[in-house]
């Protein structure tokens, strides 16, 4: 008799939950065994210090993607210059950090995806810094052997534009604007969370971009250049307008650079490949995938984007106007949906930085772009945006290092006082 074969199906959500439970159980077991071994060695050694590999890292950074090296690189340089030991843990095997020859900063690839989180869930460190949201929400759990978790933003926009509960379980947030402080405190009050430590440190990579810009050679004469650099997803420019926006720009006679979001080449691969085939590179059009966007931003005279953070890099660092697309924004997956009475700062400031691109004026880009380039209101708007969202400026890496060092000192003092009692 042939018996039926039963095939078990586990949906992705349940699979993620089961993996989280498994990691938690394994982590607790390994943690308990490791602590018991450390205590046993301590007793057998007559109270002498345990071996160095059992000690906690003084400072650690976790980067879930190599594209955040622009955020962490200046911080690593600061720790290196101070001679402070720092461990940089990355989930990208080709992270630029792995190519650096640091003496005091130890850079290590810890695996991708769940492998990285498995390492983090059992990490031993005094202070850990990351720009990855979702701590204690998905696979990444707080390790019992990490003293303090610090989140640093990788843009000057809202904290509430993270997915739901993105930073709830960090101990501290390093920010760049009062609007971020305001919305964080409102979320904490709504959810009954203990107040996190909030520190204004500025934005590391924007400080670096500004220094590079000040040191760069003047640009040669060039035709008016338009950079199309959208985000990705259903509400983004390329998904909504497709080839129509490329037709409109090319018909104006501008030099056009298209720089899709890196995620588009994965999540929207078919759409991107279709557009690249229909609009091949020419004297008027280029597709850009440079890892470092500095030169493409410097070469461009005006930016067209949607809700991508590159808007603020272009406007605030390079001091140039923008066109922002009229795209719908669904706040329901984000923390912003909790703050119904709180206006989203990014959307409030956009009209002060440039003009809006809509279905109705798409065919008038030959009028809109020159007007946007010449209108003095947008220079005033950029000055206002800097004051509101990029403070302080110039020494963010030093301020970040100062904060981490200060927190570790406080933790060690607290542990010493506890031991005395």
The residue among 22, 32, 34, 25 whose CA lies nearest residue 114 is 22
> What gap in Å lies between CA 259 and CA 129, rounded to an integer?
30
- What residues contact residue 400 under an 8 Å CB cut-off, 6+ apart? 75, 78, 129, 152, 174, 201, 204
pLDDT at 339: 87
Residue carrying structure tokens 């302080």: 392
Rounded to 10°, the helix 377-389/178-191 angle is: 50
pLDDT at 329: 72
* Whether 105 contacts 397, CB under 8 Å: no
pLDDT at 8: 43
Encoded tokens for 160: 């509430």
> Which residues, given as ranges, of the chain have pLDDT below 50?
1-14, 16-17, 20, 24, 27-28, 30-32, 38-39, 42-53
pLDDT at 292: 87
Q: Is the pTM of this model over 0.85?
A: no
DSSP 3-state of 127: strand
* Whether 110 contacts 119, CB under 8 Å: yes
Phi, psi of 198 (to 5 degrees): -115, 130
pLDDT at 36: 52
pLDDT at 327: 60
pLDDT at 396: 98
The residue among 98, 92, 97, 93 whose CA lies nearest residue 65 is 92
> What gap in Å lies between CA 300 and CA 248, rounded to an integer?
18
Rounded to 10°, the helix 396-420/69-82 angle is: 60
Q: How long, in residues, is the chain?
A: 421
* Whether 177 contacts 385, CB under 8 Å: no
Please give the DSSP secondary-structure letter assigned to residue 112.
S
pLDDT at 26: 54
> What gap in Å lies between CA 383 and CA 56, rounded to an integer?
44
């Amino acid at each position: 008799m042939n018996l039926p074969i039963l095939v078990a199906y586990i949906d992705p959500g349940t699979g993620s939950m089961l993996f989280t439970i498994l990691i938690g159980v394994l982590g607790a077991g390994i943690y308990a065994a490791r602590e018991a071994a450390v205590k046993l060695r301590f007793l057998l050694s007559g109270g002498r210090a345990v071996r160095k590999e059992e000690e906690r890292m003084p400072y650690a950074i976790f980067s879930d993607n190599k594209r955040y090296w622009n955020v962490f690189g200046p911080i690593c340089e600061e720790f290196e210059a101070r001679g402070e030991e720092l461990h940089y843990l990355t989930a990208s095997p080709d992270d630029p950090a792995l190519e650096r020859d640091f003496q005091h900063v130890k850079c290590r690839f810890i695996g991708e995806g769940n492998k990285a989180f498995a390492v983090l869930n059992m990490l031993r460190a005094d202070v850990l810094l990351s720009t990855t949201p979702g701590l204690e929400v998905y696979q990444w759990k707080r390790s019992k052997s990490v003293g303090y978790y610090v989140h640093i933003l990788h843009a000057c926009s809202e904290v509430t534009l993270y997915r739901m509960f993105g930073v709830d379980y960090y101990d501290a947030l390093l920010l760049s604007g009062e609007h971020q402080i305001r919305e964080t405190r409102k979320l904490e009050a709504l959810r009954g969370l203990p107040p996190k430590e909030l520190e204004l440190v500025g934005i590391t990579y924007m400080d670096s971009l500004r220094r590079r810009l000040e040191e760069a050679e003047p640009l040669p004469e060039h035709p008016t250049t338009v950079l199309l650099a959208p985000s990705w997803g259903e509400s983004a420019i390329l998904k909504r307008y497709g080839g129509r926006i490329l037709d409109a720009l090319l018909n104006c006679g501008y030099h056009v650079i298209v720089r899709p979001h890196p995620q588009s080449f994965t999540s929207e691969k078919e759409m991107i490949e279709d557009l690249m085939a229909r609009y091949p590179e020419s004297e008027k059009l280029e597709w850009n995938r440079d890892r470092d966007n500095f030169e493409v931003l410097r070469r461009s005279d005006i930016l067209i984007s949607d809700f991508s953070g590159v808007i603020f890099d272009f406007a605030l660092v390079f001091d140039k106007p923008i066109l922002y697309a009229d795209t719908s924004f669904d706040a329901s997956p984000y923390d912003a949906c909790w703050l119904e009475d709180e206006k989203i700062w990014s959307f409030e400031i956009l009209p002060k930085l440039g003009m809006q691109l809509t279905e109705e004026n798409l065919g008038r880009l030959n009028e809109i772009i020159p007007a946007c380039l010449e209108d003095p209101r947008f220079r005033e708007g950029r000055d206002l945006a800097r004051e509101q969202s990029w403070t302080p400026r110039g020494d963010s890496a030093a301020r970040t290092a100062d904060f981490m060092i200060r927190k570790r000192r406080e933790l060690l003092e607290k542990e010493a006082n506890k031991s005395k009692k």
